[in-house]
Chain A
Amino acid sequence: MIGAAAVVDGLALLLLAVALFSVTMRGLVSGVWLLVVQSLLLAFVAATIGVSSGAAHMWAAAILTLAVRAFAIPAVLFRVLAAVALKRETRPLLSTRHALIVAVGLALVAYLAAGRLELTGAFPARQALPVSLALIFIGLLLMATRRKAISQLIGLITIENGIFLTGLIATLGLPLFVEIGIFFDLLVAVGVTAVLTLRINEQFDTMNTDELRRLRG
Chain B
Amino acid sequence: MSLAPLLVAVPLIAALVCAVRGTRAAGVSALAATTTLIVGLVVAFSSFAGPPEHAAAGLMYVDALSGLIVLIIALVAATAALYAVAYVRNAVAAQEIAPTEVRWFYVWIQLSIAAMFAVPLMNNLGLMWVAIETTTLTTALLVAFFRRGHSLEAAWKYLMLGAVGLGFALFGLILTYYAASHALGEAAAALDWDELRANAAALDPALMRVAFALVLIGFGTKAGLAPMHTWLPDAHGEAPTPVSVLLSGALLNCAIYGVLRFHLLTAGTLGAGFSSDLLLGLGAISIAVAVPFVLVQHDLKRLLAYSSVEHMGIVALAVGIGGPLGLFAAAFHMFNHSLAKTTLFVAAGALGQRYGTLRLTRMRGAFEVAPLPALGLVIGTLAITGAPPFAPFASEFGIAQAGFAGRPAALAAAVVLIAGSVLVFGGMLFHVLNVVLRTAPRRLHFAAFPFATAFIGVPLIVLLVMGIWLPPPLRDAFTAVARVLQVAP
- B155:A196 contact, CB within 8 angstroms: yes
- A215:B238 contact, CB within 8 angstroms: yes
Q: Does A48 contact B (CB under 8 A)?
A: no
> Could you tell me which residues of chain B, from 149 to 186, have a CB within 8 Å of some CB in chain A?
149-150, 152-157, 159-160, 163-164, 167, 170-171, 173-175, 177-178, 181
- B178:A119 contact, CB within 8 angstroms: yes
Q: Which residues of A contact B298 (CB under 8 A)?
A: 217
The distance from the CB of A125 to the nearest CB of chain B, in whole angstroms, is 15
Pick the contact of B174: A118, A166, A189, A204 (CB < 8 A): A166
Q: Which residues of B contact A212 (CB under 8 A)?
A: 152-153, 156-157
- A215:B153 contact, CB within 8 angstroms: yes
* Binary flags per residue of A157-195, CB closer than 8 Å to B gives 1, else 0: 001100100110011001101100110110011001101
Pick the contact of B175: A170, A193, A202 (CB < 8 A): A170
Q: Does B190 contact A (CB under 8 A)?
A: yes
The distance from the CB of B118 to the nearest CB of chain A, in whole angstroms, is 10
* Binary flags per residue of A105-124, CB closer than 8 Å to B gives 1, else 0: 00000000000011101100
* Binary flags per residue of A191-217, CB closer than 8 Å to B gives 1, else 0: 011011001101110000101111101
> Could you tell me which residues of chain A, from 112 to 164, have a CB within 8 Å of some CB in chain B?
117-119, 121-122, 136, 140, 143, 149, 152, 156, 159-160, 163
> Could you tell me which residues of chain B, from 270 to 292, have a CB within 8 Å of some CB in chain A?
none
Q: Does B47 contact A (CB under 8 A)?
A: no
Pick the contact of A209: B133, B156, B234, B238 (CB < 8 A): B156
Of all chain A residues, the one with the shortest Cβ separation from B293 is A217
With A174-B174, A192-B137, A199-B152 already in contact, the answer to whether A140 and B127 are too (CB < 8 A) is no
Pick the contact of B159: A160, A167, A181, A192 (CB < 8 A): A192
Q: Does B297 contact A (CB under 8 A)?
A: yes
- Cα of A203 to Cα of B149 in the assembled complex, Å: 6
- Chain A CB within 10 Å — which of B141, B159, B160, B175 has the most? B160
- Chain B CB within 10 Å — which of A117, A149, A171 has the most? A171
Q: Which residues of A contact B141 (CB under 8 A)?
A: 192, 195-196
- Cα of A178 to Cα of B124 in the assembled complex, Å: 8
With A118-B206, A215-B238 already in contact, the answer to whether A188 and B134 are too (CB < 8 A) is yes
Q: Does B438 contact A (CB under 8 A)?
A: no
Q: Does B5 contact A (CB under 8 A)?
A: no
Q: Which residues of B contact A118 (CB under 8 A)?
A: 206
Q: Report how many A-B pairs have Cβ atoms within 8 Å.
A: 124
Of all chain B residues, the one with the shortest Cβ separation from A213 is B153
* Binary flags per residue of B224-257, CB closer than 8 Å to A gives 1, else 0: 0000000001100110000000000000000000
- Cα of A217 to Cα of B174 in the assembled complex, Å: 36
- A214:B150 contact, CB within 8 angstroms: yes
Q: Which residues of B contact A196 (CB under 8 A)?
A: 140-141, 144, 152, 155-156, 159
* Binary flags per residue of A40-63, CB closer than 8 Å to B gives 1, else 0: 000000000000000000000000
- Cα of A121 to Cα of B238 in the assembled complex, Å: 45
Q: Does B375 contact A (CB under 8 A)?
A: no
> Could you tell me which residues of chain A, from 19 to 49, have a CB within 8 Å of some CB in chain B?
none
- Cα of A181 to Cα of B191 in the assembled complex, Å: 14
The distance from the CB of B62 to the nearest CB of chain A, in whole angstroms, is 20
Q: Does B445 contact A (CB under 8 A)?
A: no
The distance from the CB of A93 to the nearest CB of chain B, in whole angstroms, is 15
- A175:B153 contact, CB within 8 angstroms: no
Q: Which residues of B contact A117 (CB under 8 A)?
A: 210
Pick the contact of B181: A160, A166, A171 (CB < 8 A): A171
- B160:A175 contact, CB within 8 angstroms: no
- B137:A185 contact, CB within 8 angstroms: yes
Q: Which residues of B contact A192 (CB under 8 A)?
A: 137, 140-141, 159
- B127:A177 contact, CB within 8 angstroms: yes
- Cα of A200 to Cα of B147 in the assembled complex, Å: 8
- A199:B126 contact, CB within 8 angstroms: no
With A159-B164, A192-B140 already in contact, the answer to whether A175 and B238 are too (CB < 8 A) is no
With A181-B127, A212-B156, A215-B154 already in contact, the answer to whether A136 and B133 are too (CB < 8 A) is no
Q: Which residues of B contact A160 (CB under 8 A)?
A: 167
Of all chain B residues, the one with the shortest Cβ separation from A133 is B171
- Cα of A136 to Cα of B159 in the assembled complex, Å: 17
- Cα of A182 to Cα of B134 in the assembled complex, Å: 10
- B126:A174 contact, CB within 8 angstroms: yes
- A189:B152 contact, CB within 8 angstroms: no
Q: Which residues of A contact B444 (CB under 8 A)?
A: none
- B167:A136 contact, CB within 8 angstroms: yes
Of all chain B residues, the one with the shortest Cβ separation from A160 is B167
The distance from the CB of A27 to the nearest CB of chain B, in whole angstroms, is 22
Of all chain B residues, the one with the shortest Cβ separation from A175 is B190
With A163-B171, A170-B178 already in contact, the answer to whether A189 and B153 are too (CB < 8 A) is no
What 4 new A-B contacts, CB under 8 Å, besides A175-B191, A188-B134, A217-B296? A136-B171, A160-B167, A170-B178, A215-B150
| Cross-chain pairs A/B with CB under 8 angstroms, 5 sampled | A167-B174, A192-B137, A200-B152, A212-B152, A217-B302
Closest 4 CB pairs of A and B: A178-B126, A181-B130, A212-B153, A185-B133
